[in-house]
């Protein structure tokens, strides 16, 4: 199950994220949603967040979507502002077998407390730079808050981040909310953004028929 959960982070390499941070503040049209996996999943952020199409990547088995404040993505100061700024990433992964989902969710905490799991969170791959602040497992989602050292995060990001592992239409999603170095989020605010993100994706994606 560690192998399967780890796949959800394969797209989010340090080079990809560093490139995303460098490219924000562009002039591209601000889209509020992005459909991936043949329309099975629609990625959408909380109010005030837009998809950056330049950073979105998708192949047959997985997709990566970056969201930031609409004003940052489109370089339009008048765009709707989120109640708190952060950088949001969503990875969507098709399972090798549908039956692996339950095992993945139930084994998520053990994975992220392991060296491999903390390496998946760290931008430099060093597990020693990652501390798990809190975790929670429910029937349909796993949530964590992590704190990263200076070496464990990309330039421009803050110390704290929040992640949720959940399933939408037989696809495994890993949604992350990352503080910006210029505006570190409180635990309550970071979790509120993450929960709003998960609710929006579930509400926007088509219902399983």
Q: Identify the pLDDT of residue 13.
A: 45
Name the average pLDDT for the chain.
82
How confident is the model at residue 147, as a pLDDT?
Answer: 94
In this structure, the chain runs to a length of 209
> Would you state the pLDDT for residue 10?
44
pTM: 0.85
Residue with tokens 């050292």: 149
Does residue 209 form part of some domain?
Answer: no
Residue 16, pLDDT score = 45
- 43: tokens are 């990625």
Residue 155 lies in a domain: yes
Classify residue 81: in a domain, yes or no.
yes
Adjacent-strand bridge partners of 51:
31, 67
pLDDT of residue 135: 92
Per-residue pLDDT, 14: 45
CB 46 within 8 A of CB 82: yes
Instruction: State the pLDDT at residue 98.
Output: 44
Query: Within a domain: residue 117?
Result: yes
CA dist., res. 85 & res. 28, Å (int): 19
CATH code: domain of residue 49: 3.40.1000
Q: Is residue 116 part of a domain?
A: yes
Residue 19 is predicted with a pLDDT of: 46
Q: Which two tokens stand for residue 183?
A: 């505006």
**How many structural domains compose the chain?**
1
Domain limits for position 9: 2-204
Structure tokens at 101: 């989902």
Q: How far apart are CA 53 and CA 51, in angstroms?
A: 6
Q: Which residues of the chain, if any, have pLDDT below 50?
A: 1-4, 7-8, 10-16, 18-20, 23, 97-99
Domain membership of residue 118 (yes or no) is: yes
Which tens digit of pLDDT belongs to each residue from 72-94? 887 777 778 898 999 999 999 88
Alpha helices for 8-121 (secondary structure H): 14-23, 70-74, 100-106, 108-113, 115-121
Does the residue 16 lie in any domain? yes
**For residue 92, is it within any domain?**
yes
Over residues 182-205, the pLDDT tens digits come to 889 999 999 999 999 999 999 999
Go through 25-50 and write b for each residue having 16 or more CB atoms within 10 A of its CB, e for each that does not.
ebeeebbbbbbbbeebbbbbbbebbb
DSSP 164-182: EEEEETTEEEEEEEEEETT
Residue 29: predicted pLDDT: 67
């Amino acid at each position: 199950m560690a192998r399967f959960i780890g796949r959800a982070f394969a797209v989010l390499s340090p080079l990809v994220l560093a490139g995303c941070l460098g490219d924000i503040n562009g002039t591209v049209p601000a889209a509020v949603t992005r459909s991936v996996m043949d329309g099975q999943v629609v990625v959408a952020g909380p109010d005030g967040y837009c998809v950056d199409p330049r950073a979105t990547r998708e192949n047959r088995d997985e997709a990566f979507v970056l969201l930031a404040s609409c004003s940052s993505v489109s370089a339009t100061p008048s765009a709707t502002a989120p109640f708190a700024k952060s950088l949001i990433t969503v990875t969507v992964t098709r399972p090798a077998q549908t039956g692996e989902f339950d095992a993945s969710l139930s084994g998520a905490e053990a994975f992220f407390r392991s060296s491999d799991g903390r390496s998946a969170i760290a931008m430099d791959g060093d597990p020693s730079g990652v501390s798990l602040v809190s975790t929670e497992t429910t029937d349909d989602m796993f949530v964590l808050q992590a704190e990263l050292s200076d070496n464990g995060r990309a330039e421009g990001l803050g110390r704290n981040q929040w992640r949720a592992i959940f399933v939408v239409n037989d696809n495994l999603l890993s949604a992350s909310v990352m503080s910006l170095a210029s505006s570190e989020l409180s635990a309550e605010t970071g979790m509120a953004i993450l929960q709003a993100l998960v609710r929006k994706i579930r509400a926007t994606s088509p219902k399983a028929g």
